[in-house]
Amino acid sequence: MLRVILRAAASASALGKSTLVSTTVATTNSTAYHLISSRTFASKKAKSSASKGGNKAQPKSNAKTKSKHEDIVASSSVDDAVHDLISDEKNRRRLLDEDERNKSLDVGPNGRPLFTSAASLSELGRKDACTYMKFSRNKLEEMLPERLPVGMVKEFEESMRDALLVRHSFLDLRDNFRRLVDPPLQSSNSKGLTAQKQIVLDGPVSCGKSIALAMLVHWARDEGWLVFYVPEGRSWTHGGLFYKNPETGLWDTPVQAANILQDFLKFNESNLMKLPCKVFDPIPLGEGAGVGRMKDADSMAMPEGSTLYDLVQTGITTTHASVGVVVRLREELALVKDIPVLIAVDQYNSWFTFTEFEEPMTVRSSRSIHAKEVATVNAFRSMMHDNMMVGAFSHSTAVGKLRKDLPDVPTNARVMFPRYSLDEAAVVSHYYLRQRLIRREAFSDEAWKKLYYLANGNGSEMRWLLPFMR
């Protein structure tokens, strides 16, 4: 824990965030003080027993002086430790910059190349599995403007390189959707499997589901697809304002609806301008964010010749129409035939449990509102359709274990996403060695295999444990 706190303080200091450093140091001071206090207590107890033999107790003023001295020593020790960590981080960055000139270090297990030569996710083949692919952070943020997965960002920060492992499981996922759009195109490793239009990625904690989903979205957008990407499904059911719509019986969340539309517009603006609206029924108006309902209108119609871009802009600028536009957008996406459409939802399991919203029942009681009762979730949750859709479970949202057969999800849609295999762990260990997370003199096959089995293939736990290799 102390190591993590100090590392956070070092990173913040390197970025010039002095406030975060002071807070972290203060927390660490408290930890160090407790450790020193426990030792002091033991020594005091010994002196107390000695005093029974006739020694006089020390005056209170001496005890206060000693306590102040301990605080100063603890603070000085922590400051020195933080300074050393900052120096180590800077030194590591400097050494990694020097290592870039030495290509002989880019070697994985059995002398294989550690990095792939493929320039894009579309070019990756089975021969590129168990290698690392380098990315540009700016390019990633351009392709995924909604948000980068937390696990991806943490991997980049800890390894000090924007690179990700190419896994067989990701290639299987990509090739599944590739075959749907281009049936004659068969992967060299498809083994005659039937492509699925709806997939739910399930699996243990930290097995890479969110990263694989984000990479699938990146690939699809590279291919020119229209992708509706939800990096944080839980945000649809938590926070903001909520009102019950008497006409639909569902709960409207205008703040979240506006955010959903803004995120969708970030990357897809050019495609949306080319796609005409095909549903011209009036859009129902609900309560706006904190402003109630309109008095003179309960619906609005889109002008003839409107595009999906115009529809989304209407939902962003008119708070009363935000929820209605999100629901209408789902209908419109189902009718798009000019380009492939993919709906990708992370934290998909949070749509099968209760929200943080509550409906008052009596003066003293209320009931929890289920996610399926939220209008936006109700519109996008179902997979019982002919559209391409992939959802990823997230076990960091504390949803709990769901039943195997989920409502509105095909029985064969659930796919178990694996943790690292032994071959993948070998490449990961050599990569962290290359990135100086592991001391070269301490590295051995036996050592990394022990840590692999200890972590049970958990990627984040392996990244945390490998630097302790001795």
Query: How much is the pTM?
Result: 0.80
Average pLDDT of the residues in 144-153: 96
Distance, in Å, from the CA atom of 40 to the CA atom of 429, rounded to the nearest integer, reads 42
Q: Which two tokens stand for residue 256?
A: 């979240």
Maximum Cα–Cα distance across the chain: 100
For residue 302, give the nearest of 278, 338, 320 by alpha carbon.
Answer: 278
Query: HSE (CB half, 13 Å, CA atoms) of 201?
Result: 30
Measured between its terminal Cα atoms, the distance across the chain in Å is 19
Neighbours of 44 (CB within 10 A): 14
With beta carbons less than 8 A apart as the criterion, state whether 451 and 462 touch: yes
Distance, in Å, from the CA atom of 283 to the CA atom of 324, rounded to the nearest integer, reads 6
Distance, in Å, from the CA atom of 337 to the CA atom of 330, rounded to the nearest integer, reads 14
- 13-65, pLDDT tens digit by residue? 444 444 433 444 344 444 443 333 333 333 344 444 444 444 444 454 555 55
- 93-103, pLDDT tens digit by residue? 999 999 999 99
Tell me the average pLDDT of the chain: 84
- 332-343, pLDDT tens digit by residue? 999 999 999 999
Q: Specify burial of residue 187 (Cβ count, 10 A radius: 0-12, 13-18, 19+).
A: middle
- Print burial letters for 121-151: b (CB count within 10 Å at least 16), e (below 16): beebeeebbbbbbebeeeebeebbebbbbeb
Neighbours of 380 (CB within 10 A): 23
Q: Which two tokens stand for residue 363?
A: 């003066």
Average pLDDT of the residues in 210-232: 97
| The pLDDT of residue 131 | 97
Helical residues (DSSP H) of 112-166, grouped into ranges? 137-143, 150-159
Distance, in Å, from the CA atom of 310 to the CA atom of 112, rounded to the nearest integer, reads 51
Q: Which residues contact 430 (CB under 8 A, 6 or more apart)?
A: 107, 108, 109, 114
Q: Which residues contact 295 (CB under 8 A, 6 or more apart)?
A: none
